Structure formats: structure tokens, C-alpha cells
Amino acid sequence: MIELYDHPFSGNCCKIRLALSHLGVDYSRVKVDVFGGEQHSEGFEPINPARKIPVLSDDGFVIWESNAILFFSREEVRP
């Protein structure tokens, strides 16, 4: 199961959604209230210690930094 931690107004998240859609990858979105500071909560720290979105979780494998996520999402790289 693939989850994208994102926010609708984030350009870095938008590019991940565009890529996943282009690649036909099934995923669900987890909205992080960045305007309310949810990325600084204790619950978010283990997801991304850098406290930023986007973050992609693929069956427990967690990756952040939008360009790294784009690289990981390519068909030839994904397990």
C-alpha cells in the first residue's frame, strides 16, 4: 500500500501526484496540515525528521524529498 503525505496547495506534492498519476500508481493521500504546523508534531517526526512534505510510504519503506520520490517512483526503480 502506497501513501502520500501531502497537502493540496503544495507544489512539491503536486509534482508527485502528477508523476504517480502518469505512471498509473495506486496510492492514497494523507493530508498533513502544514499551515496548522502538523509537520512539527511528535507524530510526524518519525515519518520525516526533516518535518516536510511530500513523504511517500510504500509498504513501510518511507522516502522524502520530492526529487528522490520522483526517482523512486520510476517503474524501473520500484520493486
Ligand X SMILES: N[C@@H](CCC(=O)N[C@@H](CS)C(=O)NCC(=O)O)C(=O)O
- Using CB under 6 A, list all residues that contact ligand X: 10-12, 34, 39, 51-54, 65-67
Strand order in the sheet with 55-58: 28-31, 2-6, 55-58, 61-64
In angstroms, what is the minimal distance from the CB of 1 to ligand X?
A: 21
In angstroms, what is the minimal distance from the CB of 45 to ligand X?
A: 13
In angstroms, what is the minimal distance from the CB of 70 to ligand X?
A: 9
DSSP state string for 21-67? HHHT---EEEE--GGGTGGGSTTTTTT-TT--S-EEEETTEEEESHH
Given the complex with ligand X, which of 9 and 22 has the nearer CB atom?
Answer: 9
